[in-house]
Amino acid sequence: MRADLLPRTFPSGRFAGLIFLVLAATGCKTEKDPDQPTLLGAPPATAYLGVEYYYNWGAYGGESILDYSLTNAPSWLALEDTSNKARQGIIMRGVPGLSGGARGEADLGQTENIEIVTTDGRMAGFQPFNIEVKRNVIALTGVNLTEGETQEAEDGAEKRCAIPELNAGSYTYDLPLFNADGSPNGTRVVTYPTTRGYVKVELDQPSVTEVKIAFELRTSFDPLVCDNNETDPAHQDCRYSRANTGAVIIGEDIVALSDPQNPPTDREGNPLDYIEYDESNRVISGGLVTFRPGITECYIPFEVVDDLIPEPTEVANVTLTEVRQGIASLGKGGVEVSANVSIDDNEPVLRLETIKGGTRDTINTGTNREYRAVVSGERKNQVRARLVRIGELTGVVETKTFEIGQNEHQGQFIANNELLFPIGPEGTPIDEVPFSVRGLAYTNSPDTLEDSAAPIGVDERFQAGREGYVRGVTETLLRVSLNRLNTPLVWNDGFVATDVAIGHDSRLFVAGYDISANHQVQVRIFDQTGTPLQVVEVTDPALVLQASEVVLDVGVRTVTGAVGNSQVSRYEIAVAFSTESGVLGAAAGGEDAVVSLLHFDGAEYVPSWTDDVFRIGSAGDDIVRWVGISDTTGYVLLGGETQGAWADNLYLGGTDSFLARVDTRPNANLLQPTLAWVKPVGSAADEQVVGGTAEGSLALLFGSSPSTLDGLGNVGPYFFKGNSADGEGLYQIGEDAGEILDHGFYSGSGVVLIGHGPYGYQFRKAQSEDAGTVNADDEIIRTRLNSGAGFVLGFSTAGAPFSAYTVNDDEDVSEEVLTRGVRFAGDIVVAGSTTGRFAGDQIPVTAPEAILARVDTADTELAFRNWRTQLAVENLTLLDLENYRDDELVVLADRNGERMVLIFSPEGELLTPITP
């Protein structure tokens, strides 16, 4: 800003003398007037305590050399020379807190309307500005380290202290020892190598004076905080209590300096002159870091002890406690500044696995199975691992449900939960040893029905602070479920099982009919031992019915309770079958669909509707193939095949498929079923229904047809949405009438179609470069095989493919047919049959045999996700397949007309051997 002295009026008569001179000299002249004095620039609006504030003003104008002055300026700010003879302009500088009286923090804050004025004696220019003085803040940056590994060093640069050389040292201390019960057992002198690390300390702005800052190592470790009511701070329950988990012990895990005779140096071997350690205590854990003038980054070195003790990731912190010299601020709060030092352990780690490499298995109680314990990581000495149950044992009467040991002396089981990994005769570590888990008999607590499981991991409480042990890669290394149903569940009283389900606190639900009671429809409920809990009589045994496939679904949903609007779980069963009997409701014509809904009243399952059953149908035969319960609203879906027209719907000929929804409506204090809608899909040919889903808001039905249903020329497998508008939601995906769909379900991310055909299948994901070409869409590629094979195809509910798998024998010579599938631990397990050698070690067969296989949806090629099982049992057919907790595969099977429930482990081992 500039000002002519004539027209401008200044308060208090400022520059009055100059105004008089200008008036006296005013007159007519032809030469150009000189420029008024003008200041150039904009000084920084921020200054920092202890840091030089500097600005070089520019100026021009005036008839002679300009003079300068400051008004309303803080005491620390001054001009270098009020009359600069060498050039136009002036330097303004100062050090807040030091210059102008060394007022320290009294200089903090903002000063407004400071003015710098310049004049040639006749005219003047001035410019206002503001300056805010802030603290010069110190910051600290933490670091993540691993025992025995060197930290990645910083690059050298100006304004930095010398970077520490990250050399190794050693540290000696008294290692506490413990008895088996954790009580102290003296100490032993140990010497371990150390590696240096450092945290970075930064000063926001370079100070004009030295700044000395005190630092110390700190930890949350407190030996007075104990577990199990222990009071001795030397006890293992105190030093390694839950509260102390993850806390370093200063003087054992970390020190600031291990040996005063071996101080840290720079990369040229020169001692670091900016670090001083406090050596007044036996354990050196603090000191001073000094910032020389102009330096903004320094380092605090410390040493990490590379011990032989298995530990979780532990944390210490470096704390800046006070500024001993100079002007600087510890963080924005000005009290203390801390940063974490995280230390990962480098001891060998242990994993436990099945022979196929899995971490989940099931064994029968009273038996044992061998597993592998594998250690990874560098080591020179033998190591041990003590195994134990992880977590509290609940739900059983006994105090122990399994034992860990080894099979010795011709397979004899010897209990021993401590594994030894020795060094071999040539100095090579032996990193894999076998061990066994034996399931013990147990009895459930009165309120528990589920199978107990053995979550196994390392005994961290015992191993804590002890040399020569390994840590686990995770807390639970192996989960072994303990199955008590070790023979097939069969019926000799005339009951014929047709469908199974698992639900409601591990109950096994088996639907079927009783030949000895006029084909009475029943649901038999069992616990996990096969002990009957209830027989639900869906129909009256006095009614004479024909044999019919009975299907069921079990579900649980959250509803509002009767008291206080509380949310409670409602457990339900939907049972459906077909009948032409005229004694079950009003007959619609031919065979009709019959459904019953039941719920658990706290003691047993009872009918939910006023009438025990609800009958619906067309004028033709209606055969129920599937039933489902919505887990949100509780409506019941029925899927099946019809040979008639439902209400206003069109019958297309042959056997059509249908999906019907039955709602439950309140009527006074009663609940009554009502038919909400029916959606048929078909052609002039015969459609076959194989399944459906009622998950969430979905209402899907799966089927297969030799004819085209979608009008796009596709044949074979199809699925449709019953809750879509007419003409929408139908997707047919086959290209050949030989592609037969045998089962379908919803996987959580889309539908899964399971069946068999003459092709091998591969999914191709469209790439960005495929846009605008015939390959622009994702697709399933088919390759004709020499023999029939099973398929597992994935589609979105909008009909877009996303996966494809082929289940075939390795030699492609036998016929594989898949009939059922289920989601299992992120993969899909399928059941079916083969006419040849499906499992690698199975001898050739002359008649179809039952098979199970796990389809690895992640394509990992891991053995436990790609197993195959072939059952060398004549005339065995697998009818249904269910998943129990990802621990067991529950199979309904038929052998020569005898129905049975079989149990398989997660890796396909039959746990209920079938007698010849």
Local confidence band at 847 (pLDDT 50, 70, 90 cut-offs): confident
Short-list 163, 148, 146, CA closest to 198: 163
Residue 135: strand pairing partners? none
| Three-state secondary-structure class, residue 242 | helix
Report the distance separating Cα 796 and Cα 748, nearest Å: 10
d(CA 584, CA 681): 27
Among 675, 680, 676, 638, smallest CA distance to 658 is for: 680
- Averaged pLDDT of the chain: 91
For residue 7, pLDDT beyond 60: no
Residues 656 and 642 sit within 8 Å (Cβ to Cβ): yes
Q: Is the pLDDT of residue 560 over 60?
A: yes
**For range 195-203, the mean pLDDT:** 96
pLDDT tens digits along 251-299: 999 999 999 999 999 999 999 999 999 999 999 999 999 999 999 999 9
The answer to whether residues 536 and 523 touch, using CB atoms and an 8 Å cutoff, is: yes
Give the pLDDT confidence of 612-644 residue by residue, as tens digits. 999 999 999 999 999 999 999 999 999 999 999
pLDDT tens readout for residues 334-368: 789 999 999 999 999 999 999 999 999 999 999 99
Distance between CA atoms of 36 and 48, rounded to whole angstroms? 34
Q: Which of 599, 618, 615 has its CA nearest to residue 607?
A: 599
CATH architecture assignment, domain 2-134: Sandwich (2.60)
Question: What does the angle CA 657 – CA 660 – CA 663 come to, to the nearest 5 degrees?
Answer: 170
With cut-offs at 50, 70 and 90, classify the pLDDT of residue 22: very low
Kindly state the greatest CA–CA separation across the chain.
136
Give the pLDDT score at 180: 95
Q: Specify the DSSP class assigned to residue 491.
A: -
Give the DSSP H/E element, type plus range, for residue 23.
helix 16-25
The per-residue pLDDT for range 220-230, each reduced to its tens digit, is 999 999 999 99
In this prediction, residue 653 carries a pLDDT of 87
Mean pLDDT of 806-829: 96
Assign 2 a pLDDT band (cuts: 50, 70, 90).
Answer: very low
- Is residue 404 very low, low, confident or very high in pLDDT (cuts 50, 70, 90)? very high
User: What does the pLDDT read at residue 25?
Assistant: 40
User: Is 2.60.40.2030 the CATH classification of the domain at 137-344?
Assistant: yes
pLDDT at 578 over 50: yes
CB-based contact 577:622 (threshold 8 Å): no
With a CB cutoff of 8 Å and minimum separation 6, the contacts of 916 are none
Collapse the DSSP code of 243 into the 3-class scheme (helix H, G, I; strand E, B; otherwise coil) and give the result. Answer: helix
Give the residue extent of every domain in the chain: 2-134, 137-344, 375-483
Higher-pLDDT residue of 291, 713: 291
What is the structure's pLDDT at 156? 67
Task: Give phi and psi for 236, each to the nearest 5.
Answer: -60, -35
Q: Is 18 helix (H, G, I), strand (E, B) or coil?
A: helix
CB-based contact 637:627 (threshold 8 Å)? yes
Per-residue CA distances from 371 to 175, 352, 354, 357, 825 (Å) = 34, 7, 5, 9, 20
pLDDT at 548 over 60: yes
The two tokens of residue 435 are 């061990």
Give the confidence band of 39 by pLDDT, cuts at 50, 70, 90.
very high
- Tell me the mean pLDDT in the region 384-412: 91
As separate numbers, helices (DSSP H) first and strands (DSSP E) second, the chain gives 3, 61
Is 535:522 a contact under the CB 8 Å cutoff?
A: yes
Picking from 36-40, 81-85, 628-632, which range would have the lowest pLDDT averaged per residue?
81-85
The answer to whether 304 touches 253, Cβ cutoff 8 Å, is yes
* β-bridge partners, 624: 640
Q: State the pLDDT at residue 335.
A: 86
- Which pLDDT value is given to residue 724? 66
Check: CB of residue 457 under 8 Å from CB of residue 475. Answer: yes
Name the percent of the chain lying above pLDDT 70: 94
For residue 451, pLDDT over 90 is answered with: yes
**Distance set, CA 743 to CA 74, 496, 626, 748, 831 (Å):** 86, 22, 11, 16, 10
Cα→Cα distances 437→344, 393, 878, Å: 31, 16, 30
Of the pLDDT bands very low, low, confident and very high (cuts 50, 70, 90), residue 582 is confident
**549: number of Cβ within 10 Å:** 18
Q: Rounded to whole angstroms, how far apart are CA atoms 416 and 300?
A: 48
> Residue 82's pLDDT is what?
60
Residue 594 has, within 13 A of its CA and on its CB side, a CA count of: 24
**Predicted pLDDT of residue 755:** 97
- Kindly tell me if the per-residue pLDDT of 500 is higher than 50: yes
Per-residue pLDDT tens over the stretch 734-791? 998 899 999 999 998 899 999 999 999 999 998 888 888 888 889 999 999 999 999 9
Query: Which among 402, 409, 417 has a CA at the least distance from the CA of 369?
Result: 402
Mean pLDDT to the nearest integer, 638-665: 91
Token output for 80: 């270098």
- Asked whether the predicted pLDDT for residue 843 surpasses 80, the reply is no
Nearest-angstrom CA–CA distance, 286 and 280: 10
For residues 866 and 875, the answer to whether their CB atoms sit within 8 Å is no
Q: Tell me whether domains 2-134 and 137-344 share a fold.
A: yes
Cβ atoms within 10 A of the Cβ of 314, count? 22
The yes-or-no verdict on residue 65 having pLDDT over 50 is yes
pLDDT band (50, 70, 90) for residue 31:
low
- Confidence at residue 324, expressed as pLDDT on a 0 to 100 scale: 96
Nearest-5° angle of CA 708, CA 783, CA 800? 50
Asked whether 62 and 14 are in contact (CB, 8 A), the reply is no
pLDDT score of 468 more than 60: yes
Average pLDDT over residues 128-136: 96
Would you say residue 81 has pLDDT above 90?
A: no
